[in-house]
Amino acid sequence: MRRLRVGCVGTGFIAGKHLHALAGLDDVEIVAVADAVPERARETADRFGARAHGDGLALLEGEDLDAVWLCVPPFAHGPLEAAAIDRGVPFFVEKPLATDMAVARTVADRVAASGLATGVGYHWRHLDVVRRAEELLAGRPAQLVTGYWLDKTPPVAWWARREHSGSQVIEQTTHIFDLARHLVGEVATVAGAERPAPDGQGDVPAAASALLGFASGAVGSISSARVLGWRHRVALHLVAEDLVVEITERGLTDHELRVVTADGEDVVRTDEDPILAEDREFLDVLLGRLPQARVPYDEALRTHALACAADRAARHGSAITLPDDDA
């Protein structure tokens, strides 16, 4: 059996999940990993029997790879994608695509010109409960959308500064914007408001809210808050005619679908692993078994554009008509 030679840049939290998934697959060989903190790269390399690099560009230059996973913080995007494209190496990249639109647009243009296979970590789309929600909404489109990312502030050093993470809206709530696009369709207008960062805790807002008008006529709001000591609610709630659909994420492998109709309530809780599912899908694209990933770079760009517009609208207290050519 041919084993695909893969590398991973970034060896933090989410890289660990991808590497764990990839290490369990017979047709994958984890060849090398890289991290800006060399010690971290070495530890991870030892765990997976791979070579360590102190720099992602060195990994891309020095290794012969079938694909690379880019699991770095939002501020680190751009040079890594450019190097992967230069060397013709397909890449799976974690969301968000960048802290802003400029870097993501430049990468998207180069990906389109190169024809390279890409995949992006909007993992909710790989859940069976999301497919079930799609089926339920097929004949009864959503009319009201309410989304939430109400959580603690992540402990990683880069998160609380907008220049490093983008913001909570761009870094976390982007999953909710993606799911809303997937289940309800494109957003036509977005207005917003935000509450400033807690004192001495960077400049990512304490809370933010986006008011959305969808092309379908549905309306809604998606809100973010980072001032709790726990994850309270990460969810998308949809109201259609005589139907309520609520999808909640409690952890990467802990999701719930709650469906309410006039006949009663049905709750399904699942431990399916969407990280494994998206990695398997991307490998199958590389092996020619699938034409493309569910969320290739250009599709992720549309979600990123929506999250960036929501962030900009909140920052300036303005309303934006999409697509947002000023971004």
Residues that bind ligand NAD (CB under 6 A): 9-15, 34-37, 40, 56, 71-74, 76, 94-96, 121, 123, 156, 171
Q: How many residues does the chain have?
A: 327
Comparing CB distances to ligand NAD, the nearer of 158 and 216 is 158
Residue 39 CB, nearest approach to ligand NAD (Å): 10
Instruction: Give me the least distance between CB of 255 and ligand NAD, in Å please.
Output: 12
Take residue 19 and report the two structure tokens written for it.
Answer: 């590497």
Which one, 12 or 213, has the nearer CB to ligand NAD?
12
Q: How far is CA 37 from CA 73, 77, 155, in A?
A: 13, 16, 17
Min dist. Cβ of residue 57 to ligand NAD (A)? 8
Please identify the residue of the shown chain whose CB is closest to the bound ligand NAD: 12
**Is-contact 210 158, C-beta < 8 A?**
no
Which residues in 33-54 are b (16+ Cβ under 10 Å) and which e?
bbbeeeebbbebbeebebbbbe
Closest CA to 268 of 142, 127, 99, 149: 127
- C-alpha 127/C-alpha 144 separation (Å) is 22
- If the CB atoms of residues 36 and 290 are measured against ligand NAD, the closer one turns out to be 36
CB of 12 to ligand NAD, least distance (A): 2
CA dist., res. 27 & res. 21, Å (int): 12
If the CB atoms of residues 10 and 147 are measured against ligand NAD, the closer one turns out to be 10
Q: How far is the CB of 97 from ligand NAD (least distance, A)?
A: 9
Residue among 75 and 227 whose Cβ is closer to ligand NAD: 75
